[in-house]
Amino acid sequence: MNVYRSLVMVFAILFMGIGIALVIVTAVHGGAAFGYLMGTLFFALGVGRLYLLRRRR
């Protein structure tokens, strides 16, 4: 079960990184609402997954 928790944490951090990267790339290229939305949603997915992982201890 420890491997599962570790992999969930890695994927959550990965999703947060993808979200930040999407927001940055969107801002650099002039910005469209869809890019900001997707970046925010990816980041929120990662944060939510980490929250649920910590809550289940």
Q: What pLDDT is attached to residue 35? A: 93
Over residues 25-42, the pLDDT tens digits come to 999 999 889 999 999 999
Return all residues near 39 (Cβ < 8 A) that are at least 6 apart: 19, 20, 21, 22, 23, 26
- Write out the two tokens for 56: 């289940």
How would you class 55 by CB atoms within 10 Å of its CB: exposed for 0-12, middle for 13-18, buried for 19 or more?
A: exposed
Q: What interhelical angle do 33-55 and 2-28 show, nearest 10? A: 160
- The answer to whether residue 9 scores a pLDDT higher than 80 is yes
